[in-house]
Amino acid sequence: MVFVRTLDCKTLALDLNINSTSLHALKLAVEAGSGIPVHLQRLFLSSRRLIAAAVGGGDDSSTTLADLAVCPDSTLTLHIPLLGGTQTTPAGPARPARYDFLNSKPPPNYVAGLGRGATGFTTRSDIGPARAAPDLPDRSATTIGGAAAPGIGRGRGKGPGGEEEEEEEEADDKGYDENQKFDEFEGNDVGLFASAEYDEDDKEADAVWESIDKRMDSRRKDRREARLKQEIEKYRASNPKITEQFADLKRKLADLTPDQWESIPEIGDYSLRNKKKRFESFVPVPDTLLEKARQEQEHVTALDPKSRAVGGTETPWSQTPVTDLTAVGEGRGTVLSLKLDRLSDSVSGLTVVDPKGYLTDLKSMKITSDAEISDIKKARLLLKSVTQTNPKHPPGWIAAARLEEVAGKIQAARQLIQKGCEECPKNEDVWLEACRLASPDEAKAVIAKGVKAIPNSVKLWLQAAKLEQNDVNRSRVLRKGLEYIPDSVRLWKAVVELANEEDARVLLHRAVECCPLHVEMWLALARLETYEQAKKVLNKAREKLSKEPAIWITAAKLEEANGNIASVGKVIERGIRSLQREGVEIDREAWMKEAEAAERAGSIATCQAIIHHTIGVGVEEEDRKRTWVADAEECKKRGSIETARAIYAHALTVFLTKKSIWLKAAQLEKSHGTRESLDALLRRAVTYRPQAEVLWLMGAKEKWLAGDVPAARAILQEAYAAIPNSEEIWLAAFKLEFENHEPERARMLLAKARERGGTERVWMKSAIVERELGNMAEERRLLGEGLKLFPSFFKLWLMLGQMEERLGQGEQAKEAYENGLKHCPNCIPLWLSLANLEERMNGLSKARAVLTMARKKNPQSPELWLAAIRAESRHGNKKEADTLMAKALQECPTSGILWAASIEMVPRPQRKSKSADALKRCDHDPHVIAAVAKLFWYDRKVDKARNWFNRAVTLAPDIGDFWALYYKFELQHGTEEQQKDVLKRCISAEPKHGERWQAISKAVENSHLPIEALLKKAVVALGKEEISTTTDGIKS
């Protein structure tokens, strides 16, 4: 590949082989790319021209680019010769002159455009050049012969083919080419020695001169920057900022006393005294405008309904005077036109109104001005037309009466509605409106006329009952209504609600006779009867309503209430078969809701029976396990514990050997059941799944938590008999003995486990026991043997190093950590322990080196980045810590612990924005959520802090640091109940992890402490840490 830079500053990329491509072929390629003929091309490499004669006298066709020292990817520069005279094409006749008069000499004193008014002027060409110009051929000679001679036009009589030959001859005579000395930027002086060979001496000389140039440039740079700085300071001194001009005055403000500050006068606009007062003209106001304003501001004598409701003490907002009279007029006209368009429609000379829509408008209508009174008058005329043209239309009379009520004319409204009752005596709405408008004394008479006119109206009878003052009269009215409407369910319900139990039973017997297809009546009667009578009632109800499942469910509840638990399942089973015979589809979801309703009503056996007989309806065999577990979890979320327990119980009858279902049922019993029910369930579970270690361990743990250690030992012995080679059971037995202060039994169990070929965990637990007992030599021996067997188990190396640190042997601890890292180079705890040891023994530089090496081997470990940041912060290197934090967030952009640490590192005003960035990166990370909770805590936003702490411990209940923060927060701002709730939740969560939590829980002196004591110690440690942080901040 060779690149050629053309005259228009473009670069041609030519794919050529320098070893086989000749110079002539290169020129042909350049001609094809740029259009410049071969004989005009002058190619230069740097400042050296490419000439075939310079490499042995060959021609362009036989000289390759490699012979001319052209390397691959070299850039050549293209030039063309600048020759005097006009040039013609090398072949063919000369171009004839286009206009002959251009070649003729103008007459003396000729001025172009003189006939159009132009005037002559003198230019440099008229005066002549400063030196004599070379002899140029006369263009007029071409017109004499008709064409120029072949040699003419190429400069001093050269022929078209003799230019290159003459240049080559001159180059041979001089020994060099003049064009070789030409450089595009430096002229003809640079290329004088360009054809010479570039050897090592030249290279060394160029390096020397280049270093000298750099040195001189650095010297000049210092002086130049100093001079620039001096000029900037001089400019700033002569042109200070306005804040700097008053800096001394601002400093003096610090010495002002409060009295002097209060005595500073307020800034006023003193430019008004120099302003000219404008001439103001006044025009008399027309009387019409004044009259409109008076009408707008006139007091309203009648109260609107809202004001009457509050006793006339509230002023409607629309009574405020309006000053924009034009807008008021336009608005009134628009509203009125809309009302009229909506209310009226001309059909053959009559006006038809939609009274139902107008009734809705009247409810929100208020009279606040004379303008609205005029609108009411127009509406009154429209409604009068409605009632006159169609007097049998009840909504028209109701609308007219309500309009008069809104206008404050209650008597007129009563008269209108009375006429409406006379015209429409069979419409119950008119009678109800008349009853509403009538006075309390007259309302009974009005409703009495209404029920006489319409004795079958349920609404009128119910309204008549409401008007009565006591229950006896109300019951009498409702019973009178039932004489006319015996099949009204609403009347029967109303009269039964007013009656006592005996009367209600009698009434319901009559009600089910009159309304035999209403299931609520049957169920209500069954609830009031005795057991035997209720069974008869439900049997009659089944005969009348054979497709109603509620009757069967009520029958099951009745049997359960009377102690017949065995009959409950039979009743539900018979009911489902009967409903299926009647063609009723059994909806599993609906029946589950009925089971939950039965649970809420206290009918647990009915709930279980419903689940047992309907849970499998419509479920495929392969989907049963997944569907049933999902149903149980949903019921558990809704608080229907008995329903969930019934689902699990039925699932366990089908899937006896499914460990996951046994575990789900055990978790349900552990959360919502008793210890006895959980123990019974686990006994059943290990009977069907004796190989499930987790079920044995759960049963033993529950016995241990209950304080029954012998029972827990017995369960573990049974488990070992069922699973003899289970390491989990061995370790559980060891933990049981160890936690109950039986170290010798624990050592015996571990010794047996080691003899049987225990795993690395057995050796680790053995070393822990010896550490607790203080046997350092035995602990060292066990760790050494364990590391020989399991050299890649990092916890053994970690324990060995920690033991050496406790003994004060720093070099041996360092050796243990380093040996551990040779076997476990990716173990982060080993790197952190070694870095902490180096920092204590040899200072920050050694720890920094260890952490840097750790990050190289574990590049995306946020724990290592955080350790390096904290090390720099502990030694006061805040700038280095910030730099490391920025790099860490680039390397691990979604690390919650890094974002939480960055929130705490930034200044307090920036923490809000930093926490927002952290939540965008990792929204559900518990470390970030806990950091945000601490921000709300410091800002005294107690409720928000509590919510965020609760969210953190919900997301990560296994991290004890969050529980310690939450508990400390509640100790400061919560009630005693809230503190107890956090403590209870922490104990049930049993946290195992957390930086501060592990440091406290794994200490030798805290090995047998309960979680409550560990939590309180963690809170104390947090307080000490905050005090030390505050002290360091004050010192810095």
Report the pLDDT averaged over residues 355-373.
50
Give me 108's structure tokens.
Answer: 């003396």
Banded model confidence at residue 337, pLDDT cuts 50, 70, 90:
low
Banded model confidence at residue 931, pLDDT cuts 50, 70, 90:
very high
Go through 480-490 and write b for each residue having 16 or more CB atoms within 10 A of its CB, e for each that does not.
ebbeebeebee
Q: What is the pLDDT of residues 40-68, one digit of tens each?
A: 888 888 778 878 766 665 677 778 888 88
Average pLDDT, the chain: 77
Higher confidence at residue 130 or residue 689?
689
Q: What is the pLDDT of residues 989-1013, one digit of tens each?
A: 889 888 888 888 888 777 778 888 8
Give me 817's structure tokens.
Answer: 């950590």
Higher confidence at residue 974 or residue 355?
974
**CA angle, corner 200, sides to 194 and 206, nearest 5?**
65
Give me 20's structure tokens.
Answer: 């086989």
Give me 461's structure tokens.
Answer: 């009878």
Least confident of 207-216, 231-240, 280-289, 305-314: 305-314
Distance CA 645, CA 642 (A): 5
Strand partners, 187: 183
pLDDT of residue 732: 78
Between the CA of residue 654 and those of 612, 624, 651, what are the distances in Å?
A: 11, 9, 5
pLDDT of residue 1033: 53
Q: What is the pLDDT of residues 808-821, one digit of tens each?
A: 888 898 898 899 98
Q: Which among 366, 442, 367, 435 has a CA at the least distance from the CA of 401?
A: 435
Share of the chain above pLDDT 70, in %: 78
Whether 506 shows a pLDDT value over 90: the answer reads no
Residue corresponding to tokens 């890292």: 821
pLDDT of residue 950: 92
Listed in sequence order, the residues at least 6 apart from 996 whose beta carbon sits closer than 8 Å to its beta carbon are 960, 961, 964, 1018, 1021, 1022, 1025
Q: How many CA atoms are closer than 13 Å to the CA of 42, on its beta-carbon side?
A: 19
Least confident of 196-200, 423-427, 973-977: 196-200
Distance CA 509, CA 434 (A): 36
pLDDT of residue 929: 92
Report the pLDDT averaged over residues 99-108.
67
749 sits in which H/E element: helix 743-755
Q: What is the pLDDT of residues 745-767, one digit of tens each?
A: 777 777 777 777 778 888 888 88
Distance CA 86, CA 81 (A): 13
Q: How far apart are the first and last CA of the chain?
A: 64
Listed in sequence order, the residues at least 6 apart from 738 whose beta carbon sits closer than 8 Å to its beta carbon are 746, 769, 772
3-state secondary structure of 14: strand
Banded model confidence at residue 728, pLDDT cuts 50, 70, 90:
confident
Banded model confidence at residue 138, pLDDT cuts 50, 70, 90:
very low
**pTM to 2 decimals?**
0.48
Q: What is the pLDDT of residues 450-491, one digit of tens each?
A: 888 888 888 888 888 888 888 888 888 888 888 888 888 888
Distance CA 524, CA 932 (A): 57
Q: Which domains does the chain have, with CATH numbers?
A: 2-83+160-196 (3.10.20.90), 546-655 (no CATH)
Instruction: Give how far the C-alpha of residue 911 lies from the chain's centroid of Cα atoms, to the nearest Å.
Output: 19
Q: What is the pLDDT of residues 561-587, one digit of tens each?
A: 888 888 888 888 888 888 888 888 888
Distance CA 624, CA 635 (A): 16
Banded model confidence at residue 341, pLDDT cuts 50, 70, 90:
low
Distance CA 588, CA 87 (A): 103
pLDDT of residue 152: 38
Whether 946 shows a pLDDT value over 90: the answer reads yes
